[in-house]
Amino acid sequence: MIEFRDVSQQYQAGKPIIKNLSLTVSQGEFVVLIGPSGCGKTTLLKMINGLIKPDSGEIRIKGKELKEWDPITLKRNIGYVIQQVGLFPHLTIEKNISYVLDIQKTSETFKKQRARELIKLVGLEEDYLPKYPKELSGGQKQRVGIARALAADPEIILMDEPLGAVDQINRAVLQDEIIRIYQTLNKTIVFVTHDIEEAIKLGTKIVVMNQGQIMEMGSRDTIVFHSKSHFADDFIGNKGFLSYLNIVKIAQVVCSFNGNVSEKETMLWARETDPLIVGIRICLENGINQIGVRDAFGQVVGTFDLSCLSRLKF
């Protein structure tokens, strides 16, 4: 879907922002670019929709070289969500959402219908459509920002630290929303963040960058446990591990129940949809080695103990 081959970029001579970088993003992936500020992650993102042009190397979007794309058409085919939301303050929420459709001269009825669909998709009521951005809270604005990026039904969506300005609680809610939207719509997402937890939570592929180069990339398992790069190890560290325990579900490591029925009476329980950290906590809190695991309907599915963790398959 997106292919970078040996791409370099520098604003000033001798100070490269991106150095001989290669990266492939396949259809349906949720790629998170993470790294310290100035590592080139935002530059990399902006190269995808042509806001920044590389000095050398090749970028292919949907199999077509960047130079062959009409720059306006390319941008209209890629959803774009930015850090400070960037909603247009003089337009209603409805007009904001349908802006991409408007500049492509889509019919009024379609625009109206699409705005209605999208506002619900991002979890807001239709009542918000005639309002102006100033009347919305930060989290609501960001939902509208996401709806706006989805308007033209693009296959690729770029998100540049979209939750950077949202408070902790709303951030977690919006992260879940983004995951839900990603899973429902089957889009390819490239997401920039400097928040390690966010990266571990959202990405199907996490790319750790530093000084314009990729230090490590892979699934959250690879990034947290099997990184070959010292930089990535230090950068992700225990914070990444903690968020890993917060995200991976007990269901993935549950062992079969082979104790006797009487044991069930005294057992403590977790749900299979609980994250690993909940299971570990129950064990530590109660000084026990093993707890039982139930599914959402209360049916026993097995047990959890620390030795079960070795069942994680990387």
Partner 1 sequence: MPMEFIKNLGELLKTRSDFFIELLLQHLVLSLIAIVIITVVGVTTGVLIAKSQKAASVVIGLTNVLYTIPSIAMFGFFVSITGIGNTTAIIALVIYGLLPVIRNTYVGLTEVDDQILEAAVGMGSTPWQLLSKIQFPLALPVIIAGIRNMVVMTIALAGIASFIGAGGLGVAIWRGITTNFDEMTVAGSLLVALLAFVADGLLGIIEKRLLRRTK
By CB under 8 A, tell whether 97 contacts partner 1.
no
Q: What's the per-residue H, E or C state across 79-123? A: EEECCCCCCCCCCCHHHHHCHHHHCCCCCHHHHHHHHHHHHHHCC
- For 263, the 3-state DSSP assignment is helix
C-alpha to C-alpha distance for 225 and 233, rounded to whole angstroms: 8
- Cβ 186 to partner 1, closest distance in Å? 22
Q: For every residue of 116-151, which 3-state class applies, written as one string?
A: HHHHHHCCCCHHHCCCCHHHCCHHHHHHHHHHHHHC
Task: Indicate which single residue of 7, 33, 66, 100 sits in contact with partner 1 (rule: CB under 8 A).
Answer: 100
CB of 157 to partner 1, least distance (A): 12
**Of the candidates 8, 10, 20, 83, which one interacts with partner 1 according to CB under 8 A?**
83
**Taking the mean position of all CA atoms in its chain, how far away is CA 157?**
11
Residue (of 92, 206, 101, 88) closest to 154 by Cα position: 101
Applying CB under 8 A, does 219 fall inside the site for partner 1?
no
Minimum separation from the CB atom of position 85 to partner 1 (A): 8
| Angstrom distance (rounded) from CA 36 to CA 276 | 28
Q: Which of 22, 26, 73, 113 binds partner 1 (CB under 8 A)?
A: 73
Nearest approach in angstroms of CB 38 to partner 1 is 18
Least Å from the CB of residue 143 to partner 1: 15
Of 82, 76, 42, nearest to 61 by C-alpha is: 76
Which among 268, 266, 258 has a CA at the least distance from the CA of 292? 268
| Nearest approach, Cβ of residue 218 and partner 1 (Å) | 28
Number of residues in contact with partner 1 under rule CB under 8 A: 29
Angle at CA of residue 106, ends 104 and 107, nearest 5°: 160
Note whether 136 binds partner 1 by CB under 8 A.
no
Regarding 90 and contact with partner 1 (CB under 8 A), the answer is: yes
Tell whether residue 41 is a contact of partner 1 (CB under 8 A): no
Our finding on whether 26 is near partner 1 (CB under 8 A) is no
Report the nearest approach of partner 1 to the CB of residue 64 (Å). 16
Q: By C-beta, is 134 or 313 nearer to partner 1? A: 134
Give DSSP secondary structure letters for 143-202.
Answer: HHHHHHHHTT--SEEEEESTTTTS-HHHHHHHHHHHHHHHHHHT-EEEEEES-HHHHHHH
Single out the residue of 18, 31, 39, 82 in contact with partner 1 (rule: CB under 8 A).
82
Rg (CA), the chain: 22
Per rule CB under 8 A, is residue 155 in the interface with partner 1?
no
Neighbours of 92 (CB within 10 A): 17
Stretch that binds partner 1, among 84-92, 176-184, 195-203, 256-264 (CB under 8 A): 84-92
**Position 89 contacts partner 1 (CB under 8 A):** yes
Q: Would you count residue 63 as binding partner 1 (CB under 8 A)? A: no
Stretch that binds partner 1, among 13-21, 82-90, 169-177, 203-211 (CB under 8 A): 82-90
Q: What are 110's two structure tokens?
A: 């379609």
Distance CA 140, CA 126 (A): 13
- Judged by beta carbon, residue 15 or residue 134, the one nearer partner 1 is 134
Site residues (CB under 8 A) for partner 1? 46, 49, 51, 72-77, 80, 82-90, 99-100, 102-104, 132, 134, 148-149, 158
